[in-house]
Structure 1
Amino acid sequence: MVDIADRIALPEAISELDDVRPGSPFMRPVEFVAAALVALIIGVLLLGVTSRYVFSLPVIWIDEVASISFLWLAMLGSAIAIDRNEHLRLTLFVGMMPERLRGFANTFALLVIAAFLLAMVYPAIDYSIEESFVTSAALNIPNSWRVSAIATGIILMTLLALRHAVRTSTVRDLVLATALILAIAAAFWLLTPTFKGLGYGNILIFLLGVVALCLVAGVPIAFCFGMGTLCFLAFSTSVPMIVMVGRMDEGMSSIILLSVPIFVLLGCVLDATGMGKAIVDFLASMLGHVRAGMSYVLLGSLFLVSGISGSKVSDMATVAPALFPEMKRRGYQPKELIALLATGAAMADTVPPSIVLIVLGSVAGVSIAGLFNSGFAIAMVLLLALAVLARWKARNEDMHGVRRVSLAVIGKTALIAGPALVLPFIIRGAVGGGVATATEVSTIAVLYALIIGMILYGGISRWKFYAMFVETAALSGAILMILGTALAMAWALTQTGFARDLANFMIGLPGGWLSFMAVTIVVFMILGCVLEGLPAIVLMAPLMFPIAKNLGINDVHYSMVVVTAMNIGLMTPPIGIGFYIACKIGNVSPDEAMGAVWPYLIALLAGLVIIAVVPGISTWVL
């Protein structure tokens, strides 16, 4: 389950639904340790919640144990993601290449990963040594116990990347890719004196040019950001690389982000127990007999299921198989189903507990409770826009043989779905009402889902439990690695003074805050197409949110515009990653579905414009 960091497999333009391949045998101990860390984090957080709310006795060392475990989980999980090829990458351009060139591009991508990691090994070790002089407040142990996870993870990922390169590449591709990387590095080194006098030109060369080259070659996005930032700092500044390690540590270590792996696990539980399908069945019994009713069921299911899993992909994979057969029988074209599925998932991304909202709150310093409260209202506006369009498109729907379901059947499905239905409202109510933090609520939600899911919806075997924990570690590692390198890149941008000059330019735009909103929508739609949610947010939030604040725009209102614009971009062909994921789930050719998605995207864009120009929609619930 991923929000912001959906996996992309190599053979497809974009895919995240391939079966998880077993990792390498020698990674089994690492997987076991990572799974144990997931269990430890959940156990420790549950202990803290119980101690605080039941016994009114806070345990002061809880946060430090969780923080240490979290960083180790992030780095080991990132290594597992390397081993399983689960890091987010854009392979649209690689997929267009001839087969011979594609093999070279894959080799080049692996060696770029290895080159970046090799360059970071010594700074990471040096950072661990420096942090050994810092002692934690509660446990009274050196901070190197925590940050040594970065060096360990980097070394492990380096070995894995090199191993994959050697095993999957020809000698010719290895030699040519290595020579190309060395030639580029040598050219940059020789031009260092020139770069140091270019000013903002270095942003174009390194933070745009190098990153774009890596993206086209299929390098995972986390390492695109990492390589761009590394080259920028190494060849155009005198900043030591240990500073970049520190920024990566900061990006991965926020205590708010502890809820990310727990909500990832919650999505796995949702899939394993069938709680999402119970919600779909209940809505189908209520609305399936009316014209466009199945469209309403699909949209409503995405809305509610998203409130449990926090993941677009988990949402779509849960809803599509349950509804598509009946919708096809009623005359829906497969391309229309994909269009509705993709845009419905984009609509649902503001529904708590969206991981995108949690990360945005962490990066931009926006209240998580405020985001959760506002997210429901924003999703309702977008849901209404899509529902109106769906009703118009269903005017010729074949209703022959469709009958209203009896009250007895509705009651039965409601009884089955009830425990699952209350979960999103528990999450939203607890966080939005200030009763508990997102991290505390996520642990309670996982415990609730496990107990209810196993009792009412079917058991989970111990091996399934273990697989879920390993999958949680891998997906969390992939997400957090992006956050670390993206924050380092955002920091590098701010140090150039670019953020200050960008702010001055934006503030001076004619039209004031409305012009700034229009620019925001365009920027995040474009970034959403290319980078997906989390990278775009972590990269741009430190630049854009201070400008919005200077223009008097409410943080929560601006957050809703940013997330919605990004999600529209995510589903916009021909590049939008989420669009291809929806096509993969529905087993429909992207070329076939591309024309059908545009009316739904326009409906979402109309909803976004209303959200942008009417701040009260976002803020009335605060």
Structure 2
Amino acid sequence: MVIATLFISLFVMIVLGFPVAFALAGSALLAIIVYGQVPELVVLHRMVGGIDSFPLLAIPFFVLAGALMNSAGITSRIFDFANAMVGWLRGGLGHVNVSASIMFAGMSGAAVADAGGLGAIEVKAMREKGYDAGFSVGVTAASSTIGPIIPPSLPMIIYGVMAGASIGQLFAAGFIPGLLMAIALMAMVWYYAKKRNYPKDAGFSMTRLTTTFQAAFLSLMTPVIIIIGILFGIFTATEAAIAATAYALFLGTVVYRTLTWKKLVQVSMETIETTSIILMIIAGAAIFSWVLTSQHVTADFTAWMLTVTDSKVAILLLMTLILFVVGCFMETIAAITILTPVLLPIAISLGIDPVHFGVMMVLNLMIGLLTPPVGMVLYVLSRVSNVPFEDCARATIPFLIPLVIVLLLVTFIPELSMWLPTLLYR
């Protein structure tokens, strides 16, 4: 009855429009009050304990670094360089879209930041060149999901805290899957370009490539600093976030001089708001997960899954389906904090490395960002492109195909995600 109360009240609160954080904490508090198993004060202790973690300090700094990059005009420099690099291909701006997302992924670590910052530039440029709105929004939405896979990654940090896994190894594990996502999406762009006879947007120019590279060079050093620093043990993920923020401030105020006091205050307020939302969700999910664990739901669910079938392939497909469905209805951070203690024991019992499972989980939930009814990336792109939400969702459906293919490859070929962490850390 406790579990029924927990999930029914959660569902009702979400349907009624409660913020996710309040729905999670509220449903847990209701279950505790109704069945009186522990003092209500435990809720506060568990919520505070859920966010009392040193690695979580990386979140506000990575959020701030990404926001500074957007406000300082760094995203436009990255877009110009990507355009010079691959814009000469047929359907060039589609390839530019994906390439720019790879570069920006090493700075923001969040799909919504990619869609809201770089995505606005990409959609505008593609529509001005005559690409239809559906294709422009679809490829922009799909490419934005690369951000949380290629390091740094905010969802990876949260998963690492929940699973007790090395964040450095998680960052390394996401690198190859992120590149595979980019390759798959560029193949899809090529298919559309050939089918619809999209033109080449510009001829290749070594002079232009050199000029734009020089303009974007210091910006492109941001992910290099982060990745090399973490992988070679120069600093932790949290310290890397601080370094990225300091470097973004340096570029915006000293080098490019595009970051004014007004912009800095605006960026700071946006960072405070975003960080508060994330931490509230983590705190709410912490007490929700604790109720699940205290009622032995995780252990019972693991036992049930293993009695349904002893096939590793079948269980992996079932967990993938669960993650996909949850990703359609729940915000990524809440899904990670709730499902990690439920699904990770099953993965470990199957001999799946927690780092590998983390990449699977995050990649799966990123696809959920492109599916209604939640689909945060779709909402952001709908706002910045003035395309109705329903049209954004419809245009994105074909681009789910390459992402699902990569997800299955990563799920069933663990070497794709584990080769680099094993090489560097083990």
Instruction: Give me the TM-score of the superposition, normalised by structure 1.
Output: 0.65
Is the CA contact 1:525–1:570 (under 8 Å) kept in the aligned structure 2? no
- Answering whether residue 224 of structure 2 is matched by residue 425 of structure 1, we say yes
* Counterpart in the other structure of 2:50: 251
Q: State the one-letter code of the partner of 2:262.
A: W
Q: 2:400 aligns with which of 601, 605, 608?
A: 601
Matching of residues 158-237 of structure 1 within 5 Å? 201-205=1-5, 207-237=6-36
Deviations 1:441-477 (A, max 9, x none): 1111111111122233333222332332232222211
* Counterpart in the other structure of 2:424: none
* Counterpart in the other structure of 1:382: 181
Deviations 1:154-184 (A, max 9, x none): xxxxxxxxxxxxxxxxxxxxxxxxxxxxxxx
Q: State the one-letter code of the partner of 1:384.
A: I
Shift, 1:405, TM fit: 4.4
Shift, 1:290, TM fit: 1.2
Is the CA contact 1:483–1:538 (under 8 Å) kept in the aligned structure 2? yes
Q: 1:296 aligns with which of 95, 104, 112?
A: 95
Task: Please give the secondary structure, in 2, of the residue aligned with 1:290.
Answer: coil
Deviations 1:200-241 (A, max 9, x none): x32122x21111111111111000001100011111232001
Please give the root-mean-square deviation of Cα atoms over the aligned residues, in Å.
Answer: 1.7
Distance in 2 between residues matched to 1:571 and 1:260, nearest whole Å: 22
Is the CA contact 2:134–2:392 (under 8 Å) kept in the aligned structure 1? yes
* Counterpart in the other structure of 2:386: 587
Distance in 1 between residues matched to 2:244 and 2:336, nearest whole Å: 26
Is the CA contact 1:513–1:553 (under 8 Å) kept in the aligned structure 2? no
Is the CA contact 1:427–1:441 (under 8 Å) kept in the aligned structure 2? yes
Matching of residues 233-312 of structure 1 within 5 Å? 233-312=32-111
* Counterpart in the other structure of 2:197: 397
Deviations 1:553-572 (A, max 9, x none): 01111111111111111211
Shift, 1:329, TM fit: 4.7
> Which structure would you say has the larger RCO, counting Cα contacts within 8 Å and 6 or more residues apart?
2
* Counterpart in the other structure of 1:348: 147
* Counterpart in the other structure of 2:263: 464
Distance in 1 between residues matched to 2:188 and 2:247, nearest whole Å: 37
- Answering whether residue 312 of structure 2 is matched by residue 513 of structure 1, we say yes
Instruction: Sort the Cα spacing of 1:479 and 1:371 in 2 relative to 1 into closer, same or farther, 3 A.
Output: same
Q: State the one-letter code of the partner of 1:235.
A: V
* Counterpart in the other structure of 2:353: 554
Identity %: 29
Which structure has the larger Rg? 1
Shift, 1:577, TM fit: 2.9
The answer for unaligned runs of 5 or more in structure 1 is 1-200
Is the CA contact 1:283–1:297 (under 8 Å) kept in the aligned structure 2? yes
Instruction: Sort the Cα spacing of 1:602 and 1:399 in 2 relative to 1 into closer, same or farther, 3 A.
Output: closer
Shift, 1:526, TM fit: 1.6
Instruction: Sort the Cα spacing of 1:273 and 1:591 in 2 relative to 1 into closer, same or farther, 3 A.
Output: same
Shift, 1:366, TM fit: 1.1
Distance in 2 between residues matched to 1:591 and 1:468, nearest whole Å: 30
- Answering whether residue 131 of structure 2 is matched by residue 323 of structure 1, we say no
Is the CA contact 1:360–1:538 (under 8 Å) kept in the aligned structure 2? yes
Instruction: Sort the Cα spacing of 1:211 and 1:595 in 2 relative to 1 into closer, same or farther, 3 A.
Output: same
How many equivalent residue pairs?
Answer: 420
Deviations 1:41-78 (A, max 9, x none): xxxxxxxxxxxxxxxxxxxxxxxxxxxxxxxxxxxxxx
Is the CA contact 1:331–1:397 (under 8 Å) kept in the aligned structure 2? no
Q: 1:534 aligns with which of 324, 333, 337?
A: 333
Deviations 1:118-172 (A, max 9, x none): xxxxxxxxxxxxxxxxxxxxxxxxxxxxxxxxxxxxxxxxxxxxxxxxxxxxxxx
Q: 1:332 aligns with which of 89, 113, 131?
A: 131
Q: Spell out structure 1 runs of 4+ moving beyond 6 A.
A: none
Instruction: Give me the TM-score of the superposition, normalised by structure 2.
Output: 0.94
Deviations 1:379-423 (A, max 9, x none): 1111111111110011133427x4424322221110110011121
Distance in 2 between residues matched to 1:326 and 1:415, nearest whole Å: 22
